[in-house]
Amino acid sequence: MGLFTKKRSLVPVEYLPQNVGIIMDGNGRWAKNRGLPRTAGHVAGAKVFRKIAKYCDRRGIKVLTVYAFSTENWKRPQAEIDAIMNLLRDYLKESLSDFKHENICTRFIGDRTMLAPDIQELMAEAEESTADKTGMILNIAINYGGRAEIVHALRELVADGVSPEEITEQSVEAHLYTAGQPEVDLILRPSGEYRLSNYLIWQCAYAEYVFMDVLWPDFTEKHLEKAFTEYARRNRRFGGV
Ligand code: FPP
């Protein structure tokens, strides 16, 4: 029987993950399957991102972190990098007015110093204009890598002059881009790949993983609900019994 043919009740909010990470994978293959350029896949993927982010907020998710551009993505052809940056630019401009109607607090994680100055300004504006929102925190990972994030945190600690004894899990956590946010509960990766790809590696120490055989541009709220149902079934022990 098809997974969505049965009418299902939604997982109650108290059993939902508080913090969800999504690796928005499969845009290129989606475009290739249609004989389109890879950039068309990113355009479609950006639309799905908008829809899923708003849905997560309405559903009561506390933190959503999406992987938009990794530190490794600079290896892609320049035209594809430019297309992703343009999509980000469009999203940021559009969202500055759209954000007014949403209760989402937008933040960016990653090293933004390598991005175009106008994009950096738009990012700062988006963060400032949504800083007092009380709904979901939306972290958009751009030029982000989990290892680079840990190195960045350690460098800050060293620059602060901390002693070896003061380097603790808590002090490292306090210097991550996601400082103060709860740990990741659920990592969701569509596209049939079974990897973490340097994503939130510190924050995912006890996360549950759901991998789905759907390409990101085809991802819908129903797929998300299926992942929430799977998550709610898991028995999380955090190393205990
Ligand atoms: C991975 O698919 C996707 C990316 C590297 C880019 C993700 C970007 C977006 C969804 C659009 C821009 C985002 C915002 C926030 C506006 P892939 O290209 O690796 O796909 P493939 O594995 O099928 O080749």
Q: Which domains does the chain have, with CATH numbers?
A: 13-146+183-233 (3.40.1180.10)
Residue among 23, 24, 196 whose CB has most ligand 1 atoms within 8 A, to mutate: 24
Q: Residue 227: exposed, middle, or buried by beta-carbon count in 10 A (0-12, 13-18, 19+)? A: buried
Is there an atom of ligand 1 within 6 Å of 48 CB?
no
Is the whole-model pTM more than 0.75?
Answer: yes
d(CA 176, CA 225): 29
Instruction: List 69's β-bridge partners, or say none.
Output: 142
Phi, psi of 236 (to 5 degrees): -90, 125
Q: Which atom of ligand 1 is nearest to the CA of 49?
A: 10
pLDDT digits (tens), the chain, 241 positions: 344 445 568 999 999 999 999 999 999 999 999 999 999 999 999 999 999 999 999 999 999 999 999 999 999 999 999 999 999 999 999 888 877 789 999 999 999 999 999 999 999 999 999 999 999 999 999 999 999 999 999 999 999 999 999 999 999 999 999 999 999 999 999 999 999 999 999 999 999 999 999 999 999 999 999 999 999 999 888 888 7
Residue among 29, 36, 42, 67 whose CB has most ligand 1 atoms within 8 A, to mutate: 42
Is there an atom of ligand 1 within 6 Å of 84 CB?
yes
Q: Which atom of ligand 1 is nearest to the CA of 26?
A: 23
By alpha-carbon position, which residue is closest to atom 5 of ligand 1? 69
Query: At which residue do the structure tokens 């030029």 appear?
Result: 143
160 catalytic per annotation: no
Is there an atom of ligand 1 within 6 Å of 54 CB?
no
Is there an atom of ligand 1 within 6 Å of 110 CB?
no
pLDDT at residue 8, rounded to an integer: 66
73 catalytic per annotation: yes
pLDDT at residue 98, rounded to an integer: 78
pLDDT at residue 100, rounded to an integer: 79
